[in-house]
Amino acid sequence: MIGKRLSDLSCDEQEFNKIKQPYEEALARSEHPSILQFQPPSQRNKRIRHRRVTWFCPPYSDNVKTPIGKTFLQLLRKHFPHEHRYARIINKNTVKLSYSCMPNVQNIMKQRNEQLLKEENNTGDVRRCNCDSINNCPLNGECLTPNLVYTSNVSYTEDNVAKLAVYHGSTSSPFKTRWNEHNSSFRLEYKRKNTTLSKLIWNLKERNIP
């Protein structure tokens, strides 16, 4: 223990060796003979102490003229004086007051915009296709792209005249979801009226027109 104390007081081992002799002699005289060794300073983690503060946060209003903070602290002093049994827990240092304010509209908008821009920047890492093979993908490996306007062409022959029906659609969900919806609407009769496209397909189907 003496060695540790001396090490802490010395800037390096050399200084330590210079001064240790009288201490060793004193220890020997007290029948605690020991050889003092320099102990390099160890990095100790500082203890972090958290203050126990209780916050009182009344909502702010411009219309209130009462000095709420002042009145509140006065009440604190009145009801928890020094001799009160809870004065150590509840006093001016452990109870703080702050107005709770809502962020203003500009702040709310800024936060929302930042969030949106972040999401947009992240789209680079997102999967673009979840098909087994790119050859089966309806959109050449981009089938999970959302927010698309797409066109589908239906060509058929009616009364020996070649005809072409063009259908325009838009989807906010990934394209593949819409693609599957269309396909099932061509297959399942109860979905035949889902879209103009499915109505046309079912019409052609019933007249055996490929």
Q: Which is nearer to Zn ion, 16 or 175 (CB)?
A: 175
Q: What angle do CA 131, 189, 187 make, to 5 degrees?
A: 25
Among the listed ranges 6-14, 83-91, 136-144, 164-172, the one in contact with Zn ion (CB under 5 A) is 136-144
76 contributes a contact to Zn ion by CB under 5 A: no
Of 17, 83, 94, nearest in space to 52 by CA: 94
List the x/- string, 171-200, binding to Zn ion by CB under 5 A: ------------------------------
Of 46, 31, 37, nearest in space to 7 by CA: 37
The residue to which tokens 């001064």 are assigned: 19
**Count of positions on this chain that bind Zn ion (CB under 5 A):** 4
Q: Which is nearer to Zn ion, 131 or 165 (CB)?
A: 131
Calpha distance 184→194 (Å, rounded): 10
Question: How distant, in Å, are the alpha carbons of 30, 108, 151, 181 from that of 27?
Answer: 5, 70, 97, 92
Q: Are 155 and 163 in contact (CB under 8 A)?
A: yes
State which of residues 6, 36, 76, 137 lies at the interface with Zn ion (CB under 5 A).
137
148 contributes a contact to Zn ion by CB under 5 A: no
β pairing state of 161-171 and 148-158: antiparallel
143 contributes a contact to Zn ion by CB under 5 A: yes
**Single-letter amino acid code for the residue at 120:** E
Among the listed ranges 2-10, 45-53, 100-108, 131-139, the one in contact with Zn ion (CB under 5 A) is 131-139
Q: Which is nearer to Zn ion, 90 or 131 (CB)?
A: 131
Where on the chain is the footprint of Zn ion (CB under 5 A)? 129, 131, 137, 143
